Structure 1
């Protein structure tokens, strides 16, 4: 388990991470979300001892990362897939890591096969595509068969098959009882991958919850109804004091949108009033909808456009 208490990182006049307290528990994939500049990468660097906290503590299994006797067997991290010597082959890169950490070199072939790089094991990493570089970084993180995985944007540059593979890998490792912390800007993918969420903004903790609870608590649900008897059913909704809106669907057909309702309640009303429904759909908001609703006040950089100041800065990491 990763345990952080009051974790803070100050750079001169900028507070990158501000009093974060959280636990990342084993057995589930925990998504680490936040707008650009929120402090995600800094937090991950502090977990593995690459940055020193200004104050607060963070431990892995009750120990500081720097005190771990065999760190790669405890923690596997992918924080920067580009940190590979370009003239070193994939296999040589992994053998160097294995030998310097007292790991069996036989593990190199195993992880190359696991991430799908066996056929290019002898090729120089400098010629790898972004997706291949990500796979090599994952191989390095898995080299010690670690109890804890910390992955920063692991699906960046991967094709759909690769993204699906990484999703399955993380879920399988968590199912084995490992601790998995992963950050990503692909919110639709995170909704399919993670069970728990840590959400931060401007360095502060915004939410520490399950994915489904985050979506439920920070977004709305709308019931969409189609019926040949729009007037009659609209009148039934009015009689019950249920707010609704008549609109057109994508095909130009009449429908009724009922916000903050459930399909059970609206279906029961239609049944009790004898109104035939040809469609009854409960449309729940996505993780993306909930994320933007929750973090809109914590975005550091905005592009000019709808709802943004024309003079805003370009988005940065």
Structure 2
């Protein structure tokens, strides 16, 4: 279990993390989300003792990382997939870490097999693609068979098959009772992978909840309507004081998007006014919708999109 309490980190006048508290429980995958510059990497570094907090504490199973006698056997981390010597082979990279931490050499081939690198174990890490480097980073994190894992963007550079493999792999690790904290900008993937979420913005906690509840409470489903009597139905909606907006579907047709309503109600309204609908469907809320709704005010760098 990871427990963060009042964690704060200031770099001069920059408040990277501010009074942050959350818990990563065993047996689940916890997604760590936030816009660029939100403080995710800094928080992970403080949990691992790489950055000293300005205030607050971060403990793993009740102990600070710096106080652990055999840290690799308790905590595995992947913060930078490129943190390998380019001239060492994948096997040699893992062997020196194993030997320096009292981990049996047999474990090296085990983790290489787990991450699918057995066939390239003798090749230099400097020649690896980013995806292969991510797999080697995961192997390093798993070397001590730890009960806690911290992974920063572990699917970067992976192809769809690799991303799917990581998803299943992380779920299987959590199912063994491990605590898994994983950050990612791939929100669609986090929706499929994470059981719980910790969402931060500008270094502060925005939400700590289950993925299901975050989506449910932070965004809303919409009713999609398409009709040849568009002006007439828009007037009906205005008379009923129902908000709507127009969007264009992939086929270039105008669709009305109506929030906070049900298909039953909108369908009955159209029927009662004699307006024929060619489409009446529901668009369910997504993690991306919820994330944008909850973190929109905390984005550090914005891009103005024409027409937005």
Shared fold (TM-score, shorter chain, > 0.5): yes
Cα deviation for residue 289 of structure 1 reads: 2.5
Q: What are the equivalent positions in structure 2 for 1:124-143 lying under 5 Å apart?
A: 124-143=124-143
1:251 and 1:165 map into 2 onto residues whose CA distance is 34
Residue aligned with 1:302, SS: coil
Cα deviation for residue 90 of structure 1 reads: 0.5
TM-score (norm 2): 0.89
Residue aligned with 1:144, SS: coil
How big is the alpha-carbon RMSD for the aligned residues of Structure 1 and Structure 2?
2.7
1:135 and 1:70 map into 2 onto residues whose CA distance is 23
Q: Which residue of 2 aligns with 1:106?
A: 106
Indicate yes or no: 2:183 matched with 1:178: no
Indicate yes or no: 2:10 matched with 1:16: no
Residue aligned with 2:73, SS: helix
1:83 and 1:161 map into 2 onto residues whose CA distance is 24
1:162 and 1:250 map into 2 onto residues whose CA distance is 29
Cα deviation for residue 192 of structure 1 reads: 1.5
Q: Which residue of 2 aligns with 1:164?
A: 164
Residue aligned with 2:158, SS: coil
Unaligned runs of 5+ in 2: none
Cα deviation for residue 68 of structure 1 reads: 1.9
2:111 and 2:121 map into 1 onto residues whose CA distance is 11
Where does structure 1 differ by over 6 angstroms across 4 or more consecutive aligned residues?
228-236, 270-276
Q: Structure 1, residues 174-216: CA drift from partner, whole Å, max 9, x if none?
A: 1222111001111121122112111111111111122232223
Number of residue pairs the alignment of both structures matches: 308
2:88 and 2:95 map into 1 onto residues whose CA distance is 11
1:184 and 1:48 map into 2 onto residues whose CA distance is 18
Q: Structure 1, residues 29-69: CA drift from partner, whole Å, max 9, x if none?
A: 11111121111111001111111111111111111112222
Cα deviation for residue 3 of structure 1 reads: 0.6
1:202 and 1:271 map into 2 onto residues whose CA distance is 48
Q: Which residue of 2 aligns with 1:220?
A: 220
Q: What are the equivalent positions in structure 2 for 1:1-317 lying under 5 Å apart?
A: 1-226=1-226, 242-244=242-244, 249-251=249-251, 255-267=255-267, 278-303=278-303, 305-306=305-306
1:102 and 1:185 map into 2 onto residues whose CA distance is 35
2:63 and 2:307 map into 1 onto residues whose CA distance is 45
Alpha carbons of structure 1 residues 264 and 301: separation in structure 2 relative to 1, 3 Å? same
Q: Structure 1, residues 259-307: CA drift from partner, whole Å, max 9, x if none?
A: 2113344456668889876543211343223222222222223346559
Residue aligned with 1:99, SS: helix
Cα deviation for residue 162 of structure 1 reads: 0.7
Cα deviation for residue 243 of structure 1 reads: 4.0
Cα deviation for residue 14 of structure 1 reads: 1.7
- Between 1:117-126 and 1:214-223, the stretch displaced more is 214-223
1:247 and 1:77 map into 2 onto residues whose CA distance is 43
Alpha carbons of structure 1 residues 231 and 138: separation in structure 2 relative to 1, 3 Å? same
Cα deviation for residue 248 of structure 1 reads: 6.1
1:177 and 1:268 map into 2 onto residues whose CA distance is 49
Residue aligned with 1:162, SS: helix
